[in-house]
Chain A
Amino acid sequence: MLKIVICDDIKTHNRFVEAAVQAALDEYELPGEIALVTDSAAEALQFSQTPGELRLYFLDINMESATEGLELADKIRQRDADAYIVYITAHAEYSIAGYRTKTFDFLLKPLNAEMIRETVRRVFQDMALVSKRGRVFQFKAGSVMHHIPLSDILYMKKEKNVLHVYTENGRISGYGSLKRTAGEFSKSFALCNKSCLASLGKIKELDTGNRAVLLENGLTLSVSRHFKTALAEAMEAYRGE
Chain B
Amino acid sequence: MANKLLGYLFEMVIYCLPITGLIFSFKRNGKHRKREFSTGFIIIAVSCFFQTFFLYRFYPYDSLFIIFTLFAVFLLVCKLPMLKSLLFTLLLLCYLEAAELLGIATIRELFNLVIGEEVQMRGAASPAMKAMYVAVGSYLCIFILSWHLGNKYYLRLSERKKILLRICAMTAILIGYYILFIYLLSNIQFRPDNEFTTYFQAFLYISFIINTIFLGYTIYSNIRLYQSAGENRTLRQQMDAVQTLTEELRLFKHNYLNILYSFGPHIAESDSPELIAHYEQTVQESRRIGSDNIISIQKIRNASVHNLLMSHMAMLKKESLPFFLGVSGDLGHTRMKDVDLCQVLGIFLDNAREAAAITEEPQVKLDILVGERLVEFYIYNSFSKSGQGGAPGKSGADRGCGLIYADDILGKYKNIIHNAYESNGQFVQQLIVEKQAAIF
Contact = CB atoms under 8 A, between A and B. Distances in A.
B326 interface: yes
Interface stretch (A45-53, A91-99, A200-208): A91-99
A12 B432 contact: no
B424 A122 contact: yes
A90 B371 CA distance: 26
Q: Please classify the interface of chain A as helix (H, G, I), strand (E, B), loop, or mixed, using the class held by over half of its residues.
A: mixed
A141 B367 contact: no
Contact of B430 (A16, A63, A104, A141): A141
Interface stretch (B34-42, B74-82, B218-226, B291-299): B291-299
Interface residues of A, number: 36
Interface stretch (A26-34, A35-43, A167-175, A214-222): A167-175
Interface in A77-122: 90-93, 95-96, 99, 104-105, 108-111, 122
B388 to A, nearest CB: 14
Contact of B374 (A92, A95, A96, A142): A142
Contacts of A109: 257, 261, 264
A63 B268 CA distance: 23
Contacts of B421: 146, 172
Contacts of A171: 419
B248 to A, nearest CB: 13
Contacts of A16: 264-265, 268
A110 B369 CA distance: 26
A90 B257 contact: yes
B409 interface: no
B328 interface: yes
A210 interface: no
Nearest to A95: B326
A109 to B, nearest CB: 4
Nearest to A13: B265
Contact of A144 (B260, B266, B324, B430): B430
A214 B328 CA distance: 45
A10 B258 CA distance: 10
B425 interface: yes
Contacts of B417: 141-142, 162, 173-175
A90 B418 CA distance: 31
A143 interface: yes
Contact of B367 (A63, A90, A96): A96
Interface in B377-391: 378
Most-contacted residue by chain B among A10, A93, A146, A170 (CB, 10 A): A93
A13 B262 contact: yes
Given A10-B262, A63-B254, A162 B415 contact: yes
Nearest to A161: B415
Interface residues of B, number: 41
Contacts of A10: 262
Nearest to A103: B424
A195 B419 CA distance: 20
A19 to B, nearest CB: 9
A151 interface: no
Nearest to A119: B424
Contacts of B170: none
B290 A90 contact: yes
Contacts of A146: 419, 421
A62 B251 CA distance: 11
B414 A15 contact: no
A241 interface: no
B297 to A, nearest CB: 12
Most-contacted residue by chain B among A12, A160, A171 (CB, 10 A): A12
Contacts of B290: 90-92, 108
Contact of B264 (A111, A159, A170): A111
B358 interface: no
B264 A90 contact: no
B430 A142 contact: yes
Nearest to B255: A63
A104 B265 contact: no
Contacts of A108: 290
B424 A105 contact: yes
B353 interface: no
Given A63-B255, A96-B328, A122-B425, A91 B292 contact: yes
B130 interface: no
Contact of B365 (A95, A105, A143, A144): A95
Interface in A116-154: 122, 141-144, 146
A96 B325 CA distance: 9
Interface in A11-28: 12-13, 15-16
Most-contacted residue by chain A among B265, B328, B415, B432 (CB, 10 A): B265
Nearest to B326: A96
B406 interface: no
Contacts of A111: 261, 264
Contacts of B257: 90-91, 109
Contact of A141 (B262, B415, B419): B419
A15 B291 contact: no
A161 B417 CA distance: 10
Interface string B260-300: 11101110100000000000000100000011100110000
23 contacts: A10-B262, A12-B262, A12-B266, A15-B265, A90-B258, A90-B261, A91-B254, A91-B290, A95-B326, A96-B327, A96-B367, A104-B424, A141-B417, A141-B419, A142-B374, A142-B430, A143-B369, A143-B371, A144-B430, A159-B414, A161-B415, A162-B415, A172-B419
The 3 lowest CB-CB distance pairs between A and B, nearest first, are A96-B326, A63-B254, A142-B376
Interface of B: 251, 254-255, 257-258, 260-262, 264-266, 268, 283, 290-292, 295-296, 324, 326-328, 365, 367, 369, 371, 374, 376, 378, 414-421, 424-425, 430, 432
Given A111-B261, A173-B417, 12 more contacts: A12-B265, A63-B251, A63-B255, A91-B292, A99-B369, A109-B264, A122-B425, A141-B417, A141-B432, A142-B369, A161-B415, A173-B418
